[in-house]
Amino acid sequence: MTGIPDHNIPAFNAAAQKLRLLGFDVVNPAEITPQNGTTWEDYMRADLQALLTCDTIALMVGWENSKGAHLELHLAHRVGMTVVFADAVCQTTR
């Protein structure tokens, strides 16, 4: 999200909406609202806590360029979550 216009929130919200319409219970990182002045580290603490309530992580296109997504994926692997690609789920579940 860092360094992308609008923190890529429109893309996160669009993916979350598609997944919800398919019946998934989605924890959307864009809906974790940091307060003004929140550091990246503090935001990631909240994000990772929310991630730990999930059983699957859905990676979005471009995740490879995000240090936060790398951290999320590492955590997901370590706690045994299923890893999917959001676009693929939305295309194959129609």
Side-chain-side CA neighbours of residue 85 (13 Å):
8
What is the rounded CA–CA span in Å between residue 33 and residue 55? Answer: 22
What is the rounded CA–CA span in Å between residue 63 and residue 83? Answer: 12
Weakest-pLDDT range from 49-53, 57-61, 84-88, 90-94: 90-94
Asked if 15 and 86 touch (Cβ cutoff 8 Å), the reply is yes
Confidence of residue 93 (pLDDT cuts 50, 70, 90): low
What is the rounded CA–CA span in Å between residue 42 and residue 49? Answer: 11
Q: What is the mean pLDDT of residues 26-43?
A: 86
Q: What is the mean pLDDT of the chain?
A: 90
At residue 94, does pLDDT exceed 60? no
